[in-house]
Chains A and B, each alone.
Chain A
Amino acid sequence: MITKTYKLETLTCPSCSMKIEGALRKTKGVEEAEVLFNSCKAKVTFDESIVDAEDIKDIIEGLGYKVLKEK
């Protein structure tokens, strides 16, 4: 289980952050997902044997939010 933080482009509505949160939580292997609206970050804890960091990034970008940095 690891936790990664993804820096996102400026989030414009709190409901967008809930959308990303919802989508990530429904992803298999994701233990916990939290999207910070004001700091525009997604903190995701996941099981690397099921899903990898790149998949998470794809999900966020698939929803239409650019990932600027991950760490």
Chain B
Amino acid sequence: MRLDKARRVLVSGIFIILSLILKRTDLNIWYTNTSMLIAAFIAGYPIARNALSALKYKVLGIDALVTIAVIGALFLKEYWEAAAVTFLFMLGDYLESRTLEKTRSSIKSLLDLAPDEARVIRDGKEILVSPDDVEEGDIVLVKPGEKISVDGTIVEGNAYVNQAAITGESIPVGKTIDDTVFSGTIIESGYLKIRADRVGDDTTFARILEMVEEAQDKKARTQKFLERFSKYYTPGIIVFSLLLYIFTMDLVLSITLLVIACPGALVISTPVSIVAGIGNGAKHGILIKGGEIIEGLGKAKILAFDKTGTLTEGRPKVTRIKAFSIDEYQLLKITAIGESYSEHPLARAIISAYEEKYGPLNETSEEVDIITGQGLKAKVQGREYLIGNRKLLKEQGIILPQDKDDYIRAEEERGQTVVIVANNENVLGAVSIADTVREDAKELIMDLRRKGIKKVVMLTGDNERAAKAISKELGIDEYYAELLPEDKVNVLKTLQEKYGVTAMVGDGVNDAPALASADLGIAIGIKGADVAMETADVVLMSDEIKKLSYAIGLSRATVRNIKQNIYFAILVAVLLLLGVLGKVVFMASGMLVHELSVLLVIINAIRLLGYGEKSKN
């Protein structure tokens, strides 16, 4: 008869209770002992079998220690001890597997989010297929409540999509034609026809899953150390017990030592905390690729940020419009019309500023003359205008009066790029444009300091003035401007030499070398930056930069949790050892304390799953 773990524990427990009852009756002690023996045998059989089969491969494990101890107890006719030890060991094992499942539950629930079917249109008909059978270029139809099974582009329809599986953001996002959608996300309302761009294992979701799955078993440094330690520890304990027996001739003492010496709580201390930490992160859209990373992030003291797209929106925006002699509407309209043929990013910023304020722009200029490096000359409603920089005015012989020059200079000091608008005689106004700082960036920097980051540095390819303005606005300690991607790597090296463990935060492809060369690379956003996602050690799935402080807080909490576990495990081990040598702790009670300590360590790790829940709002 094959019994599963739970039944074995139950049956063995019943026999133990039975024998305790029999002990109180007047029946022969033989009944009590038989019942105890049966209990010991039922619980002990799988332990002994595992120990023996492991021995075949010359591996000594915890079950070997317990088996030797139980045989010793039987030899000493300590039937109660034998039954209690095997029962507690099996019960502990059973409870541990149940609680461990809990620590791993976040990651498991993420795996369960994988889409399991796809509705594809083939030969004009809708058919249901497995997501693995969808081919690139297929048209996939998704209805409300259904999961999108591919990464693709919308070709028809509108919908609100819940992207929590990817970004951790549970507020649905509106999507329409030409928008991209991700596999694993769910349509809350509306319907979509999607052209499959990436399918199966190539989808972002599948790759995230794979990375998370691998991450939970990438060992932390502490863990590697503990495993090396336990490899020598078990044989060491056997030798120690033997020596103890030889010197004291006290068999009970020696085998008790064997039982309590299993380093269970210690070796499990690190991996349980890490799996809970990584699981918590994954649930909040933060992918941390392994135990070593979480330890590193938990200890990082210096953070280097890329500027464009990380601390800023990455798109220039009109920040101020100053009209000198005409009204603001006129100024912006003339500028927008003049710029409507230009491909320059500044032109796009001006046009969208106009459209945001006054609706679509439907006039065009009659004549445009683009002067590279200066701006342009445009004819609007029969009049000629100059739109550009100082150089343009100078070349065209327009004088920039002192007061206007002062205004423009002040704007430039703030890191703005100023587009000057003039007609043939006068300067009419100036439009300030800058890449705007992300809304949550300032709060993030303050939050990071609260979480113990000592130094925040900004690296950028942008010019000195823009870098200075932004680092002042955000309260950044140091900035390095006008850097090429390879310069960023060099600056990082200097920072590492000067301050130690350095984390680099960036997005986009041009940051990939820097992300790879930092001690910890943190990539923000998953849009179009596959390289960054692969090279980075930590990926923030959504575009919200404030998740970074969550990631750091979570890592610190995980490191704290690991430390608590380790200290607790060592304390228990020392106390047990003293207790055994001082003869206050015996086999059964020793096993009880040992199993309890393992359970407590796991339960402490489970607390990490709740990190961030309290501080939400």
A binding-site residues for B, Cβ under 8 Å: 9-16, 18-19, 22-23, 26-27, 36-39, 62-64
Contacts and interface: CB of A to CB of B under 8 A. Distances in A.
B93 A15 contact: no
B49 A26 contact: no
A18 B53 contact: no
B504 interface: no
B267 A13 contact: yes
Contact of A13 (B62, B216, B217): B62
Nearest to A27: B57
Interface in B209-260: 213, 216-217, 223, 226-227, 230-231, 234
B477 to A, nearest CB: 38
Interface string B111-132: 0000000000000000000000
Contacts, number: 70
Contacts of A23: 54, 56-57, 59
Contacts of B268: 13-14
A15 B217 contact: no
A3 B195 CA distance: 34
A63 B50 contact: yes
A38 B97 contact: no
Contact of A63 (B54, B217, B227): B54
B21 to A, nearest CB: 31
A23 B58 CA distance: 8
A71 B169 CA distance: 33
7 contacts: A12-B97, A13-B264, A36-B217, A38-B216, A39-B104, A64-B53, A64-B63
Nearest to B264: A13
Given A12-B93, A13-B264, A15-B267, A22 B213 contact: no
Contact of B213 (A9, A39, A62): A39
A63 B216 contact: no
Q: What 8 A-B pairs are tightest by C-beta distance, nearest first?
A: A23-B57, A64-B50, A36-B217, A38-B216, A10-B97, A38-B275, A22-B59, A12-B96
B271 A14 contact: yes
Contacts of A36: 216-217
Contacts of A18: 59, 227, 230-231
Interface residues of B, number: 35
B100 A10 contact: yes
A12 to B, nearest CB: 4
B101 interface: yes
B46 interface: yes
Contacts of A11: 100
A11 B217 CA distance: 13
Interface of B is mostly: helix
Nearest to A63: B53
A22 to B, nearest CB: 4
Nearest to B58: A26
Contacts of B274: 38
Contact of B49 (A12, A15, A38, A64): A64
A61 B53 CA distance: 10
Interface of A is mostly: loop
A39 B217 contact: yes
A34 to B, nearest CB: 8
A14 B57 contact: no
Given A22-B58, A64-B50, A64-B53, 8 more contacts: A12-B100, A15-B267, A19-B61, A23-B54, A36-B216, A62-B53, A63-B54, A64-B46
A63 B57 CA distance: 10
Nearest to B101: A10
Nearest to B49: A64
B62 A15 contact: yes
Nearest to A9: B97
Contact of B54 (A10, A19, A37, A39): A19
Given A37-B217, A64-B46, A14 B267 contact: yes
Given A37-B271, A39-B213, A64-B50, A15 B100 contact: no
A50 B59 CA distance: 23
A14 B104 CA distance: 14
A26 B274 CA distance: 29
A38 B230 contact: no
Contacts of A9: 97
Contacts of B223: 14
A11 B46 CA distance: 15
Contacts of B59: 18-19, 22-23
B595 to A, nearest CB: 11
Interface in B34-55: 46, 49-50, 53-54
B62 A39 contact: no
A38 B274 CA distance: 9
User: Looking at B49, B61, B271, which has the most chain A CB atoms within 10 Å of its CB?
Assistant: B61
Contacts of B46: 64
Contacts of A63: 50, 53-54
A22 B57 contact: yes
Interface string B98-109: 001100100100
B225 to A, nearest CB: 12
Contacts of A62: 53
A10 to B, nearest CB: 4
A27 B107 CA distance: 32
Contacts of B104: 38-39
A39 B271 CA distance: 11
B412 to A, nearest CB: 54
A17 B596 CA distance: 21
A38 B271 contact: yes
Nearest to B94: A12
Nearest to A37: B271
A8 B457 CA distance: 46
B278 to A, nearest CB: 8
Contacts of A37: 217, 271
Interface string B56-71: 1111011100000000
Contacts of B226: 14
A9 B268 CA distance: 17
A15 B54 CA distance: 12
Nearest to B291: A38
A18 B275 CA distance: 18
A62 B49 CA distance: 9
